[in-house]
Amino acid sequence: MINLKNKNLFVTGGTGSFGKRFILKVLSDLSPNSITVFSRDELKQYELRQSITDPRLKFMLGDVRDYERIYRCMEKIDFVIHAAAMKQVPASEDNPMEAIKTNVLGAENIITASLERGVKKVIALSTDKAANPANLYGATKLCSDKLFLSANKLSGNDLTKFSVVRYGNVLGSRGSVIPFFFQQKKIGIIPITDIQMTRFWITLNQGVDFVLKSMDIMRGGEIFVPKIPSMSIINVAKVIAPNIPIKIIGIRPGEKLHEVLITGDDARNTLDCGDHYRIFESEDAKRELLSSNSSITQVSENFYYDSLNNSQWLTEESFSQLLVQEELI
């Protein structure tokens, strides 16, 4: 596990589902000097302040669109976790420039401020929707990923390193299908877009642990992708709302039938690292890691990591156990 003892962390979007769980983990297990929560919602900051009373936790109101505010709040920061984003697909489609300002220009502001402040490591959270994007949200996150990877060229031989973590659906996160299904269960009908639809699944704790591990081993300029199980959406609905009628409503604009975490075009740049994959921006960096660790291998030319052809699958029983573990049921 990464050594964060006496370090200062800066978490954008820190009041979100991931941010709260990440903060609790780091405060309880990793002895940081401080964690600065940077977000724009004063109510959510107030609620988080009430639920976590720790003097090491600091709160700064601000928007990732505002470079001057980011720069001012990032003084003496060692590590940055960039989780802030405009994430709702319909909202992004209806307000494209707002998504671009937050997800693209906001990413560039984080990069520039991190370089100016001499931050040691920056991890940005991505999404499966950034791989072969089918909607504006995915396109903005792909652009954000590219910005963070290319930022290592700006850093040069300086201290700041930038990498990206990409994974699928997080159980119980705000805006995900699981809370929606629980709500629909009370109404008495479960809308499903397509009976064939599949998704990757990861718990909040697994996501937090993977981000911390990635931050520890990152070289800069790579996308970390965990190996996680798949499950069909219709089976998810059966676990959450057994015996509740299901209504097929059809795929919405910009929605994919199956999630993709690594495309065929990325295969040539992807290494199998045991419990995760790494997609490299630089061929030299990829070769260096390959030569330094015999257990790491290059994936095949026709490799493609999607939720339909995944080798790991959740059963209804194992998915139900995860819901209990996450205190969702």
* Local confidence band at 83 (pLDDT 50, 70, 90 cut-offs): very high
* Mean predicted confidence (pLDDT) in 240-254: 90
Quote the DSSP letter at residue 256: -
pLDDT of 70 above 90: yes
Whose tokens are 């059809």? That residue is 250
Alpha-carbon distance 77 to 242, whole Å? 48
Pairing of strands 297-298, 246-248: unpaired
CB atoms closer than 10 angstroms to residue 207: 23
One of 7, 44, 121, 129 is an active-site residue; which one?
A: 129
DSSP string, 151-166: HHHHHTTSS-EEEEE-
* Mean predicted confidence (pLDDT) in 93-122: 97
CB atoms closer than 10 angstroms to residue 102: 22
* Local confidence band at 109 (pLDDT 50, 70, 90 cut-offs): very high
Alpha-carbon distance 128 to 212, whole Å? 19
* Local confidence band at 48 (pLDDT 50, 70, 90 cut-offs): very high
* Mean predicted confidence (pLDDT) in 60-81: 98
Q: How buried is 124 (Cβ within 10 angstroms: 0-12 exposed, 13-18 middle, 19+ buried)?
A: buried
pLDDT of 284 above 80: yes
* Mean predicted confidence (pLDDT) in 57-86: 97
pLDDT per position as a tens digit, 179-220: 899 999 999 999 999 999 999 999 999 999 999 999 999 999
Contact 189, 241 (CB under 8 A): no
Give Cα 106 distance to the centre of its chain.
Answer: 16
pLDDT of 151 above 80: yes
* Local confidence band at 157 (pLDDT 50, 70, 90 cut-offs): low
pLDDT of residue 120: 96
pLDDT of 49 above 90: yes
Mean pLDDT (the chain) is 94
Contact 142, 133 (CB under 8 A): yes
Angle 233-240/316-325 helices, nearest 10 degrees?
A: 60
More reliable by pLDDT, 158 or 116 = 116
Tell me, yes or no, if 129 is annotated catalytic. yes
Q: In degrees to the nearest 10, what's the CA dihedral of 253, 259, 261, 263?
A: -70
pLDDT of 286 above 80: yes
Contact 103, 143 (CB under 8 A): yes
pLDDT of residue 128: 93
Say which CATH topology domain 8-167+202-227+264-306 has. Answer: Rossmann fold (3.40.50)
Q: For 126, left (φ over 0), alpha (ψ -120 to 50), or beta?
A: beta
